[in-house]
Structure 1
Amino acid sequence: MTAAVTTPPASAAVVPPLAGFTVGITAARRAGELATMLERRGAVVQQGPALRIVPVADDTELADATRALVARPPDVTVATTGHGFRGWVEAADGWGIGEDLLAALGAGKLLARGPKARGAIRASGLVDAWSPESESSAEVLDHLLEMGVDGLRIAVQLHGEPLPDVVDALRMAGAEVVEVPVYRWLPPADLGPLDRLVDATLGGGIDVLTFTSAPAAASLLARCAQRGMRELLLEALRGPVLALCVGPVTAAPLEDVGVPTLQPQRSRLGAMVRQLEAELPARARRLPVAGRVLELRGHAVLVDGELRTVPPAGMALLRALARRPGRVVPRADLLGALPGGSGDEHAVETAMARLRGALGRSELVQTVVKRGYRLALDPEPVSGKCV
């Protein structure tokens, strides 16, 4: 006989879609904006910038490239990022050649890698000729090669790191390429927040890691390699931790090492958050227990739709019980699941008492004398309530 299910009162507060989950942010630029969007949807956010953006307005390499293009305007200019293109024009203004640069670029054809680059081009008073749907540098390259570049002078605005595949292919096809390094990605000046984010990820405290640029993903992997944690991080990202990327370009360094990623159809922060909002709750584990529905989230549990925050030790026990729902889990196994490596089984009893208190209903977890504990799993799922 199926246990009766208590229906939450109609006045129960609506739980935000990301409540109970912890999201890590690796971005440097627009990290605050992303954090705000996530927190509004209930997520707990931990920030650990994986890089920093260093403008190169005073860099002689950028100045030399800009003056060379003013002297000999390019036939084609590729703008890869809106932020970078604006920074380039602002730097040229600072040198007193801003109008000359715009005139030189406007004399040729401008290609934008994506909408942000296109917006920056138009904001400067210029007009773009083409932009790929994928916002991919590879599609820009294919377009140029199909167009034919032999004998053309092409300016490529870099977006924080070299683009050897694009530049080499254009040169092999006969183009003269001028690389424009508008800004550079460097490791963060303070590695502490990034290291703490990695430690939390490996310790099971992070449910999602977000990435908004390919250099951030590459920098995170490089830092983990320096600390001897690269394989551990990859294991986490291939398992319980979701890697959320703003688009395919950002995802490439992760997918190249076998990490599955979640991406929105449109490469925008808002679209990325909405994708997570739809995806993450659907991944939560739901179980019919003692006539109620338990939904296990990252650091919290929904009991019949009511959010209950659970201490880390209690959450570790609950996950161990949920892996064998309805079956008795010995105290020794539960002790091994507790964080901190305690060897005293009394720690299990203490954590279990706190878990029951956090859940608000002691009958959800049953004590089996001299054996261990079990979730009071209902004989069969309650229709329409569990997945």
Structure 2
Amino acid sequence: MSQPTTTPPDAAPAEAAAAPGRELDRTQLVGVTIGITSDRRSEELIGTFTRRGAQVLHAPTMRIVPVTEDEELLAGTREALADPPDVLLVTTGIGLRAWVESADAAGLADDLVAALRPAYVVARGPKARGALRAAGLPERWTAATEQTAEAVQHLVDEGVEGRSVLVQMHGAAGVEELEPLVTAGARVRTVTPYHWREPRDPAAVDRLVDALVARSLDAVTFTAAPAAVALLDAAEARGLRDEVVAALAAGAPGAEGEDGVVACAVGDVTAAPLRAAGVEPLVPGRWRLGAMMRVLADHLEEHPRAAVTTPAGRLVVRARAALLDGTPLELAPGPLAVLARLAAAGGDVVPRARLLAALPSAAGDHAVDVAVARVRAVLPDGVVRTVVKRGYALRTG
């Protein structure tokens, strides 16, 4: 899916974003538009947000490619059988599952699990731990931060000199992360059951970049660090990285302004490339997909681009829509941008020059009058007032 949609998938997953005992609010995100960059589990994200009334722009910036029939992976499996490791470090659940599936295709899955079982097994995080237990390989230790660096340091502290350490790498990992093991005297081997590759639909990624530059999204989600890197790289390739970073930075929690795009990352590992670029994303306290969806939905509900109470009701402005007491107003992007500035002012006068700045750069001064007229046309009489020689304002109260 690369276009906004309000239709959930046919086989909707369990409502992961509904907290226990909390009824699903199907109007919570009406008027909201969210960009989704993930390849895996995207249907779960799309279903959760659309069931709450949001529109979605789905643009996977990377895709996971399993290497089930890869000769190098099979060779790594055979090496593990011939020379079982003393230590096994598993970095991702999907990676371990893909490795076991690859071994199973070669008739070696049972032998592989048996060869790995005596090892001192370390998991990078809960997902890796769950996959290990499902495979019959109980872990001895799990990294609390879900970062490879912590797992590596734990092994160094435990002592690995002269020991054989086998590391299941994930698609974006670099062997430099394992240098401390080598320095500590370990014999390090790696297997990589999947890789990150270019997106299936580059045009969808371009549309996502364009939407970020135009700030016509309320939020964009990231569930893997490579997806964040790939989005920034795609923007860089078009000379738009600064504009994308500015849009996301303006949407950071606590940032001032009414037109930023909220970046939401599933955890600190995923957030790292964004932070390195100067963007502080919204991150749930618990680094899980369901927690991310809950925290983003609640944040967007509580922090619209602009909101003000008028004599006609509560006016809320989103990236692509405005609602009066929950009823969507039909407005083109230009008048919507003008309404956003009026609403953000909370009843104060907004100068014509500031309203003009919200319109396309080619717009002339008369365009402000046209946009305001269209805003007036969708609101009850008297909500928009003219302040002679100063500008326009909304009546509040």
Aligned-partner SS, 2:292: helix
Cα distance in structure 1, aligned partners of 2:35 and 2:122: 34
* Preserved contact between residue 33 and residue 56 of structure 2 (Cα < 8 Å): yes
1:212 matched residue in structure 2: 223
Displacement after TM superposition at 1:218 (Å): 0.9
Gaps in structure 1 of 5+ consecutive residues: 1-13, 379-387
Q: Say which of 74, 85, 88 aligns to 2:96.
A: 85
Displacement after TM superposition at 1:138 (Å): 2.4
Return the structure number with greater relative CO, CA threshold 8 A, min gap 6.
Answer: 1
Correspondence 1:148-187 to 2 at 5 A: 148-187=159-198
Displacement after TM superposition at 1:19 (Å): 1.9
- Larger Rg computed on CA atoms: 1
TM-score, normalization: structure 1?
0.87
1:314 matched residue in structure 2: 335
Aligned-partner SS, 1:362: coil
Tell me the C-alpha RMSD between the 2 structures: 2.2
**Cα deviation digits, residues 130-169 of structure 1 (max 9, x gap):** 2123322222122212211111111111111223343111
2:395 matched residue in structure 1: 376
Displacement after TM superposition at 1:252 (Å): 0.9
2:9 matched residue in structure 1: none
Aligned-partner SS, 2:188: strand
Cα distance in structure 2, aligned partners of 1:20 and 1:148: 55
1:270 matched residue in structure 2: 290
Q: Does 1:336 align with 2:357?
A: yes
**Cα deviation digits, residues 308-349 of structure 1 (max 9, x gap):** 45432221011222354444445454333223633361x434
Cα distance in structure 1, aligned partners of 2:351 and 2:170: 54
Displacement after TM superposition at 1:369 (Å): 5.3
Cα distance in structure 1, aligned partners of 2:62 and 2:99: 20
Q: Does 1:241 align with 2:252?
A: no
1:286 matched residue in structure 2: 307
Percentage of matched positions with identical amino acids: 46
Q: Does 1:27 align with 2:38?
A: yes
Output the amino acid matched with 2:382: E
Gaps in structure 2 of 5+ consecutive residues: 1-24, 251-259
Q: Does 1:203 align with 2:214?
A: yes
**Cα deviation digits, residues 60-81 of structure 1 (max 9, x gap):** 3212222111110011111111
1:9 matched residue in structure 2: none
Report the number of matched residues.
Answer: 363
Displacement after TM superposition at 1:176 (Å): 1.1
Cα distance in structure 1, aligned partners of 2:195 and 2:30: 36
Correspondence 1:62-73 to 2 at 5 A: 62-73=73-84
Aligned-partner SS, 1:195: helix
Output the amino acid matched with 2:392: Y
Output the amino acid matched with 2:33: T
Aligned-partner SS, 1:160: coil
* Preserved contact between residue 312 and residue 380 of structure 2 (Cα < 8 Å): no
* Preserved contact between residue 20 and residue 43 of structure 1 (Cα < 8 Å): yes
Q: Does 1:364 align with 2:389?
A: no
Cα distance in structure 2, aligned partners of 1:107 and 1:206: 50
Cα distance in structure 2, aligned partners of 1:326 and 1:148: 66
